[in-house]
């Protein structure tokens, strides 16, 4: 699947909720499998459907150490469909982020350190989860893609933008 890059209209569009009837079609699971494969091939730790030109409210978070995030915690991929933020912590953390849709750049942005989320799993069953630390950051980053935003929308100063190769030399 081709990954949309900043400037493409799909990244500025709010995602469409998945209907209950869509869970009855095997094509949904096939799409999710392809989305995961695309993320892994690109060394991503998360991806949202709009990033591959699909307007549906589907995201995957899958933290693991890789060349782009060598210190990332390891977790099994988590598929979240129609996610809703129930609560975000008032405690925030500044950290550097990259994005498959913003190639070559990193941005230092502030995000909540924990988030409570309601979502549907791959079978359409309601779930709730509390995400913390780096995993919460991944979720919030991918959630932005579902509401038509990227990390660039959170930048408060150009001093908080760095070329990815410079970031890798300084921090990786």
Catalytically active residues are 142
Spatial distance between the Cα atoms of 70 and 72, rounded to a whole number of angstroms: 6
Instruction: Order the strands of the 161-163 sheet from edge to edge.
Output: 92-98, 105-112, 161-163
Spatial distance between the Cα atoms of 139 and 160, rounded to a whole number of angstroms: 21
Token pair for residue 160? 């908080």
Cβ density class 113-122: b for 16+ within 10 Å, e for less: bbbebebbee
- C-alpha distance from residue 160 to each of 67, 107, 171 (Å): 21, 6, 14
Spatial distance between the Cα atoms of 57 and 28, rounded to a whole number of angstroms: 12
Measured on CA atoms in the order 37, 39, 44, 46, is the torsion positive or negative? Answer: negative
């Amino acid at each position: 699947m081709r990954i949309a890059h900043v400037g493409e209209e799909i990244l500025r569009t709010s995602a469409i909720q998945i209907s209950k009837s869509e869970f009855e079609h095997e094509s949904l699971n096939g799409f999710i499998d392809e989305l995961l494969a695309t993320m892994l091939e690109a060394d991503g730790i998360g991806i949202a459907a709009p990033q591959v030109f699909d307007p549906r409210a589907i995201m995957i978070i899958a933290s693991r150490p890789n060349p782009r995030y060598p210190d990332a915690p390891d977790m099994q991929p988590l598929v979240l469909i129609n996610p809703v933020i129930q609560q975000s912590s008032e405690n925030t953390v500044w950290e550097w982020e990259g994005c498959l849709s913003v190639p070559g750049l990193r941005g230092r942005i502030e995000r909540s350190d924990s988030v409570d989320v309601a979502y549907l799993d791959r079978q359409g069953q309601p779930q709730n989860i509390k995400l913390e630390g780096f995993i919460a950051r991944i979720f919030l980053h991918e959630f932005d893609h579902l509401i038509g935003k990227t990390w660039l929308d959170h930048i408060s100063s150009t001093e908080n933008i760095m070329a990815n190769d410079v970031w890798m030399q300084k921090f990786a």
